[in-house]
Chain A
Amino acid sequence: MRTTNRPIMNSRIVGALGASVLALFVSFAAVAGCSSGAGDPCLDDATCADGTGNPPTTTTAICANFGAAYVGLGGADLTATRAEAVAGVDRGRSKPYSALVTEYARVLGADDNPTLLASSGATFGEPDARWYQEPQASAVSLYTAYRVAFDGCLQLTGVIANASGSAQGDAKYGVAPDAQSAKTECQAWARKFWSRAPIDDEVRACIDVAVVSSRQETINGTTTDTAPARRWAYACASVLSATGFLAY
């Protein structure tokens, strides 16, 4: 039996939002800096309206329409277990291995396909025959994702040979990155890998890898200056192993 399911006005809904929404708030606050500092754009945000970072205390309906109510066998309310949350939250699913095997080649180019990926199915949740498994991100999968990305980016920047059999990086990667060139490249990579333009904080994080963090590298205990193309590869990998690429 189907009847009307009326939305409720609440003061409890904000507190009852799913853990993923709260996590989203935390991550958003971490990036936006939800503090009471002067000129903080967060002060114009409803979620930071009291300047303390606490959730707002006003009562609002989370949506205008909850849809119909359904009464099932034994008079059970079939909608009773629905979470109280706005539509469209909690969407960042990890890409399955079956997609990753073509996603790297899609964004890096057909010849720049990380060889490490072929042996990483179990790490990225490849299921058994006749079975399905929702991939779950973990420390291991994130670390492996970075290694896979670095492999592909070394091919992209011409440090190592790609599927064509030779190193084919663009000549621009032969010049060490500076703030301006890194900004241009980081923005282009983010747009390509994430299918969206990055925000300033995201670009800055990538520039930092290219210009600061990658100046030197330690290999087998010996620290040396990093070759320009490898510096680009490090920055490229930092973008390619972010959730903008790994999630959909």
Chain B
Amino acid sequence: MNVGSRMHWLMVAAPLLAAGIGMAAGGRTAGAAGATVSDADQAALRERCATRISIALVGKSASDDLLASSNPQSGVDALLASPDFFERFARFVNSQFNRDPGKAPAEDASYYLAKYVLENGKPWTDLFLGPYNVDADDKGNVQVTDDPNGLGYFRSQPWLFRYAGNELAGIKISTAYRIMNNMVGLQLMATTNAPDADVSVTGRHAGTCAGCHFQNWYALDQVAGILSKKTKDDKGNVTFTPYTGGSQKILGGKMIADDQGLVQALAGSENFSFNACRLSFSYLYGRAENKCEGPVLDRCIDAFKSQKTIQSALSVIAKDPGFCQ
């Protein structure tokens, strides 16, 4: 039956009515004050809780068992151990760590390694510091393999090429930004793309550009300065030349000599734990935490620092009574 082939006047009117009903429904359920007479229906409350938990964590309807549970939040850990969660959260991470999906699967290294870290119960720091390589095999299938020289996905070739950038002297500003964005949630906006703009190091030193490129703790040129340099030959082949200039003072005063030192410093910062919990909160709420939700984030950060896994962070937030209100 094809409803769309027969236009009814009610098909126009009814959605408007539904929208009106929806406004009322949204108003009731979204309000923080929450409790009303109808909410005394505890079975209904538990159903809504089960639905919210299941869809937020795995993107699917709650199971019959969860819908009937007297405490749906007791099912959080089981959902966090499910393949549906691994898939959905890896996709979420990939969408937060990149502007767009990769043109080739291997460019979505954060998706593959996040899924690997989740499936194997690894610490979240392994995503950035673990000895892995993410690349396509001979048949084009993307694999996560052990690599003693690995640094999360940051030294994997497809990712390196994707974010090598186009700086004139081969300074990998784009790589530096992407590492800080992925690890601590740094958000910057490139403001100059005019045809005649001076994008050389001289131009980046000038005016407001210097703030992001040379002056703040995340000074992009300085952070990129301890990374390898991009070199392009006459045929367009790109290679990377390791940095050998010794330690530089970056990240607001830390002495760092290479990409591994950079990633270790970021992983050891307060920013890292805070960002892991904000990422978790955004996954579960569809937005960042607000001021009055600060205590939930505090508990999340405590759990994450103690247990190291991103599942521990998500568990605290999803099990908080406020999540089902």
Q: Which residues of A contact B (CB under 8 A)?
A: 1-2, 5, 7, 18, 20, 24, 27-28, 30-31, 62-63, 65-68, 70-76, 78-79, 81-93, 95-96, 98-99, 102-103, 106, 115-116, 127-134, 142-143, 145-147, 150-151, 154, 160, 191, 194-199, 201-202, 205-206, 208-209, 213-214, 217-220, 234, 237-239, 241-244, 246-248
Contacts and interface: CB of A to CB of B under 8 A. Distances in A.
A242 to B, nearest CB: 4
A65 B295 contact: yes
Contact of A62 (B9, B41, B60, B291): B291
A99 B60 contact: yes
Interface string B19-32: 11111111111111
B11 A27 contact: no
Contact of B285 (A91, A191, A196, A247): A91
B251 to A, nearest CB: 5
A-B pairs, top 5 by smallest CB distance, nearest first, are A67-B294, A74-B217, A243-B22, A63-B292, A244-B25
A104 B269 CA distance: 45
A20 B29 CA distance: 13
A85 B55 contact: no
Interface string B272-301: 001000000000011111111111111001
Contacts of A208: 17
Contacts of B188: none
A164 to B, nearest CB: 15
Instruction: Pick the most buried of A30, A66, A81: most chain B CB atoms within 10 A of its CB.
Output: A66
Interface in B41-100: 41, 44-45, 47-48, 51-52, 54-56, 59-61, 88, 90-92, 94-95
Nearest to B59: A98
30 contacts: A67-B298, A70-B274, A73-B217, A73-B270, A86-B290, A87-B293, A91-B29, A98-B59, A98-B60, A102-B61, A106-B61, A128-B101, A131-B101, A133-B95, A154-B1, A191-B44, A198-B38, A201-B24, A202-B25, A205-B21, A213-B10, A218-B7, A219-B7, A234-B10, A241-B15, A241-B18, A241-B22, A243-B22, A247-B22, A248-B51
Contact of B21 (A67, A82, A143, A238): A238
B218 interface: yes
B325 A82 contact: no
A78 B271 contact: yes
B108 interface: yes
Contacts of B295: 65-67
A29 to B, nearest CB: 9
Given A31-B23, A237-B14, A197 B286 contact: no
B30 A89 contact: yes
A32 to B, nearest CB: 8
B24 A217 contact: no
B38 A199 contact: yes
Given A62-B291, A217-B10, A67 B47 contact: no
Main secondary structure of the interface of B (DSSP, over half): helix
A21 B56 CA distance: 21
Interface size class of B (residues with CB under 8 A): 35 or more
B55 A95 contact: yes
A218 B8 CA distance: 5
B18 A93 contact: no
B18 A238 contact: yes
Contact of A83 (B59, B101, B217, B291): B291
Contact of A81 (B288, B292, B301, B325): B288
A129 B108 CA distance: 10
B216 interface: yes
A65 B289 CA distance: 14
A209 B14 contact: yes
A92 B48 CA distance: 12
A72 B274 contact: yes
A74 B286 contact: no
Contacts of A201: 24
Contacts of B184: 72-73
B148 interface: no
A209 B48 CA distance: 26
Contact of B270 (A31, A70, A106): A70
A230 B229 CA distance: 69
A130 B91 contact: yes
Nearest to B187: A81
Interface in B234-292: 251-252, 269-271, 274, 285-292
B15 A143 contact: yes
B203 interface: no
B207 interface: no
B121 interface: no
B111 interface: yes
Contacts of A28: 27, 31
A82 B296 CA distance: 13
A106 B216 CA distance: 53
Given A70-B274, A248-B55, A5 B4 contact: no
Nearest to B111: A130
Nearest to A97: B59
Interface in B196-235: 216-218
